[in-house]
A and B are shown apart, each in its own frame.
Chain A
Amino acid sequence: MPDASTARGAAPAASGAGATPVKPRRDWRIAVASGKGGTGKTTVAVNLALSSRGPVQLLDCDVEAPNARLFLSLTDVRRNAVTIPIPEVDQTRCTACGQCGEICAYNAIVAMGAPPIVFPRLCHGCGGCMRICPRHAIREVPREIGAVAVAGNGHLRFVEGELTIGEAMAPPVIRAVWSELAPGTPAIIDAPPGTTCPTIEAVRGSDVVALVTEPTPFGLHDLELAVAMVRALGLPHGVIVNRMGIGDDRIQRYCEREGVAVLAEIADDRSIAEAYARGIPLVTAQPQYAARFHELRARLEELAAQGTQHAQGGAGGDGCDAQEVS
């Protein structure tokens, strides 16, 4: 079965003679995702980046609600519009044949008369109408749906995507964030919560996915969905259990049954929540966490390296040797 991740340009899995060499360690792309929101995904992503001892980039792909910047002080912010190509009909060439309306899967262009009318917000930018028009009467023009901001903070390079309120299409903005990925520098990607299109788009090109959850029934249920997603994508992954202590050990038991590594456990600590509420990164409020996040990153990079040596990725059989963080 074709490896889905190669369609995106992630490091291809080695497979037989002439196998691709293991990716150099400087360049790993770590995605941080979760089945549900509010588990601590942004906390993990931001602190993984801030605790880096060398250059690192943080990509905020949660484009409907990008929050990572609230924890960073940023300089040199450069902002570019993200556009998708929508049709524009040359009325002088159009014969109202209606083929554009017929090929469109999204009701974004319809021939109700001549010329056809375009509904820009429904358009996915597939190019079908432009290609099918027998009179070449359709050209594509850019329509702004969001923006990508690039900024700095010391050795941290920050890229954020934001979808304009009212727009439906997150994936093009997420692709635009990824297009700003600087080669040669390790990257942490803050993915949108959930398991549908936008999350897939954000994690597809990564080398390993950290799944953040909490030890409750909701946390477990949504983790199961997230694990199904990363397995479908063939991506190495591990679990981070946040707010240890508020629930029970069901996450660890699940991970053991499923052979998924538990990479870290973060204790439930009210002071962490209070720092978060005030926009203070954890490694700033409690510097002893920096070493823990640095170790977590090393474990994730290990998983990434293992993953490129196996066709299917997936966590190694480390079982649940969780690392207590508190």
Chain B
Amino acid sequence: MKELVVISGKGGTGKTTLTGAFAELAEDAVLADCDVDASDLHLLLKPRVRRREVFRSGRVAQIRTADCTGCGLCHDYCRFDAVIPPAAPQPSPDVAGAYAIDPIGCEGCGVCVRFCPAQAIDFPERESGLWFVSDTRAGPMVHARLNVAAENSGKLVSLVREQARRLAEATGRERIIIDGPPGIGCPVIAAITGATFVLAVAEPTRSGRHDLERVLGLAQHFAIPAGICINKFDLHPGLAGEMTHEWAERGVPTLGQVPYSAVVTHAQVAGESLLQSQPTAEVTERIVSIWQRVAARLDGAAQAQPEPGAEVRP
């Protein structure tokens, strides 16, 4: 099974647009939207949801107001500013002095729960989001959505990948194309560990170069073969060239460059597939060539990797 992950140090580089195009071009892939904080791939592929599940992660403290004695120990102990002291003055003696937990600030450490002298704090599992298995015109897709203020530990990302792998096994498909999360933290790590190939999408800007450095550093740390796609390269062709050259020397080839183009946005706004509505546009043709190079690298990298279960330590 071959897993391609498309990532970018920051959002808004065109990562999801590219992934959507690759999904259509691949024809035999399972899709996984691992950008669970702000997932957009479904807007391009318009999935028909077949399965919907609740994602639970961690716990959240809840004070039973009636049992709270107002001692304030929870407030003293909480390291995350998640305990709300009673506002003064109290209108009603029944709720005088009751503390409350701010579920948005609560990190689920359980300290207040354990130490409350009145044992007045419950600690249920937290419903942190939803995940889905759907059909799309480009193939079956697993996607998810984290709730506002949920902890983005990468656990939901791992779950989406695992479900995508099971779906690939069940449907006899060999490739999984993953729309990765932005950044370099746990969600990205969860998206790339064990992947076959990483494509980093970057813009030729000072901040884009800075972010590319961080995100490719991650891929190299996990010893995953990588390639680059530079989007809107014509905004600063000089910098695009520098980035290409610099990374080629470090073993990461640039597999294509895409110009700044209104065509892509028009297709997105119209709710149309770029490939179907603008097959002859320059940007479309470039994306098709990039896919061909990425697919070749993906297959090549898959062959170079050892069989699962074998020793992998170099």
Q: Do chains A and B touch in the complex (CB under 8 A)?
A: yes
A residues whose Cβ falls under 8 Å from a Cβ of B: 2-4, 6-9, 12, 15, 18, 35-39, 42, 64-65, 67, 70, 103, 105-106, 124-128, 131-132, 163, 165, 168, 170-171, 175, 193-197, 200, 204, 215-218, 221-222, 225, 228-229, 232-233, 246-248, 270, 273-274, 276-279
> Assuming the A-B contacts A126-B107, A193-B38, A274-B235, are A65 and B260 also in contact, with contact meaning beta carbons closer than 8 angstroms in the complex?
no
Chain A hits for B114, CB < 8 A: 103, 128, 132
Residues B160-203 near A (CB distance < 8 A): 182-186, 203
Complex interface residues of chain B between 38 and 91 (CB less than 8 A to chain A): 38, 40, 43, 58-59, 77, 79-84, 87, 89
> Whose C-beta in chain A lies nearest to the C-beta of B91?
A16
Secondary structure dominating the interface of B:
loop
- CB of B13 closer than 8 Å to a CB of A: yes
Kindly name the residue among A4, A228, A270, A279 whose own CB sees the greatest number of chain B CB atoms within 10 A: A4
B217 CB to closest chain A CB, in angstroms? 7
> Do residues A36 and B38 form an inter-chain contact, with CB atoms below 8 A?
yes
B120 within 8 A of A: no
Task: Assess whether B87 is in contact with A105, with CB atoms less than 8 Å apart.
Answer: no
User: How many chain B residues touch A (Cβ–Cβ < 8 Å)?
Assistant: 65
In the bound complex, what is the Cα–Cα distance between A106 and B108 (angstroms)?
Answer: 9
A37:B182 contact, CB within 8 angstroms: yes
Does the CB pair A196–B9 fall under 8 Å? Answer: no
A36 touches B12 (CB 8 A): yes
Measured CA separation A126–B148 after assembly (Å): 22
B296 within 8 A of A: no
What is the chain A residue whose CB lies nearest that of B98? A2
Would you call B12 and A70 a contact (CB within 8 A)?
no
Q: Is the CB of B268 within 8 A of A4?
A: no
B268 cross-chain contacts in A, Cβ below 8 A: 216-218, 247
- In the complex, whether B105 has a CB less than 8 A from a CB of chain A is yes
List 3 A-B pairs, minimum CB-CB distance, nearest first.
Answer: A38-B12, A37-B11, A126-B109
Q: Confirm or deny: B297 has a beta carbon within 8 angstroms of a beta carbon on chain A.
A: no
Q: How far is the CA of A64 from the CA of B40 in the complex (A)?
A: 21
Contact of B186 with A168 in the complex, beta carbons under 8 Å? yes
Q: Does B185 lie within 8 Å of A70, measured CB to CB?
A: no
Q: How far is the CB of B128 from chain A (nearest CB, A)?
A: 10
Chain B residues proximal to chain A, CB less than 8 Å: 9-13, 16, 37-38, 40, 43, 58-59, 77, 79-84, 87, 89, 100, 102, 104-105, 107-111, 114-115, 146, 148-153, 182-186, 203-208, 210-211, 214, 217-218, 232, 235-236, 239, 260, 262, 265, 268-269, 271
Residues on A with C-beta less than 8 A from B77 are 127, 131
A18 to B88, CA, bound (A): 10
Q: How far is the CA of A168 from the CA of B152 in the complex (A)?
A: 10
Of the candidates B13, B37, B102, B185, the one whose C-beta lies within 8 Å of that of A38 is B13
Considering the chains assembled together, what is the distance between the CA atoms of A132 and B265 in angstroms? 56
Least Cβ distance of B234 to chain A in Å?
9
